[in-house]
Amino acid sequence: MSADRWLDGDAGPVVRPYTLTRGRTRLRDDALDLISVVEATGVPVPSRLRLDPEHRRLLALCASSITFADLTSEIDLPVGVVRVLIDDLRDENLLRVLKPTPAGDVPDELVLRKLLNGLRAL
């Protein structure tokens, strides 16, 4: 059998997305928002762990903080696949995901200004 049977000249590698995720379609943890920031933790990859090329590429892209949306556009894989691969790396403590603060949890600017003025008055 020829090794190039898995390569299509126009489309690239012919591999089904579920093979990259080992059949997983759902995250073990909470979902990722497109504006979530993903970054590598700096923890060395354990010797027992064999990372697929896609996992290694994700780690390289996350060496500096990157939003999930930017990450998915860089890696050229379906969003669902990238979510599962990130979940794999989070399970191994190789990546962390920083969630955006919900708008309701942000302190009101007027309240902060009043507090600052009150502290200055002391």
Q: Which of 34, 43, 27, 97 is nearest to 65 (CA)?
A: 97
CA 114 to chain centre: 38
Cβ distance 72 to 82 under 8 Å?
A: yes
Strands 12-13 and 66-67, by their bridges, are unpaired
Pairwise CA distance, residues 103 & 122, whole Å: 31
Position 1 scores a pLDDT of 44
pTM score = 0.64
Strands 66-67 and 37-40, by their bridges, are antiparallel
Pairwise CA distance, residues 97 & 99, whole Å: 6
Q: Which of 94, 78, 87 is nearest to 32 (CA)?
A: 87
Task: Tell me the backbone φ, ψ of residue 48, rounded to 5 degrees.
Answer: -75, -15
The pLDDT tens digits for 32-60 are 788 889 999 999 988 888 888 888 999 99
The pLDDT tens digits for 68-119 are 999 988 887 888 788 888 888 898 999 999 887 766 666 778 888 888 888 8
DSSP 3-45: GGGGEETTTEE---HHHHTTT--S-SSPPPPTT-EEEE--PPP
